[in-house]
Amino acid sequence: MLNQIDEVLISYTLTYVPNVLSITFNIVLLVFAILICKRNSYSYGITLMLSSIISLASEIIYIFIQYPYLNYRLQVELGFPMGLVMLIVMTVYLVLVSLNATSAILLVVSIWLIYKTHKKDRID
């Protein structure tokens, strides 16, 4: 019994470490965006905040529903038929992809706004 704890812990750690690091990065980005909005009232702070919040929501949903193990849990533990399992997994996948795409679009918009706001004429 104690031998299984190490295997499960290593499995969960290897599965969710990238997501935890992404959550940490998005929290730092959110704090940075909030500080930009409060101090300078730049418009790109809002898009940066929205991008960070949407990405945080996507990562939290991914961890909360344990997406890598969702197939197994729906089919084996709950006994759903394979067709329903595939429908649920694809729906969750499409939701996560749409959240990540929206976050990426907002991040690109905010980077473009940062470039446009701080662009200066350079003299050679």
Q: pLDDT value at position 103?
A: 95
Q: Which residue has the higher pLDDT, 29 or 7?
A: 29
pLDDT digits (tens, 9 = 90+) for 54-105: 999 999 999 999 898 899 999 999 999 999 999 999 999 999 999 999 999 9
Mean pLDDT across the chain, nearest whole number? 87
Q: pLDDT-derived band of residue 43, with 50, 70 and 90 as boundaries?
A: confident
Q: pLDDT value at position 123?
A: 58
Question: SS in 3 state form for the chain?
Answer: CHHHHHHHHHHHHHHHHHHHHHHHHHHHHHHHHHHHHHHHCCCHHHHHHHHHHHHHHHHHHHHHCCHHHHHHHHHHHCCCCHHHHHHHHHHHHHHHHHHHHHHHHHHHHHHHHHHHHHCCCCCC
Domains of the chain, residue spans: 2-118
* pTM assigned to the model: 0.82
